[in-house]
Amino acid sequence: MRYRYNTTNLNGCVIRIFFPPPPYLELTLNPPEGIIAGPITEENYFEWEALITGPEGTCFEGGVFPAKLIFPSDYPLSPPKMSFTCEMFHPNIYSDGRVCISILHAPGDDPMGYESSNERWSPVQSVEKILLSVISMLAEPNDESGANVDAAKMWRENRDEFNKIAEKLVRKTLGIPTNT
């Protein structure tokens, strides 16, 4: 038996419940403040680009940081990978731009014991939640699980120098010359 659905008489609420918009459409129609994101091309929804604005009141304020998200074929069971495509100096960002944050770590328990399983990826997480978590990470780094040991140490021991480096990167993302 084959069922046919006629959605012409359904109101918008019912359509949204039974036919939720794809994540990219939701981000396009109602983007959170400080974030622009979506697929690089319409032919490949597994690669996204994002622009993240540095959080207000932080050393990253005013910067516009480009990033890339790569979704695995088994998404949403597995988390995407995220990396910044510009130079970043941050305790939770590797020198090659990869982001190290709990929400992007595979489901399950952390063998190192730093993260609880409810902080890690689960299929109910959204791209929006990932990007908001990254903005939060920029504002409040976790210097105990540093992907960039030098940045983590500087964040703890010499915050003024850390802020100078971050502010230089902000200027660089905006195409403003920096005094080296």
Strand order in the sheet with 44-53: 35-41, 44-53, 64-70, 81-84
Residue 129 identity (one-letter amino acid): K
- d(CA 102, CA 68) in angstroms, rounded, equals 17
Catalytic one among 13, 59, 86, 100?
A: 100
Neighbouring CB atoms inside 10 A of 151's CB total 23
Taking Cα atoms as reference points, which of 178, 160, 158 lies closest to residue 168? 178
Residue found by looking up tokens 């012409």 in the block: 8
Helix (H, G, I), strand (E, B) or coil at 84: strand
- CA dist list (Å): 125 to 103, 119, 145: 8, 11, 22
In degrees and rounded to multiples of 5, residue 128 shows phi and psi of -60, -45
100 catalytically annotated? yes
Question: Which positions are catalytic?
Answer: 100
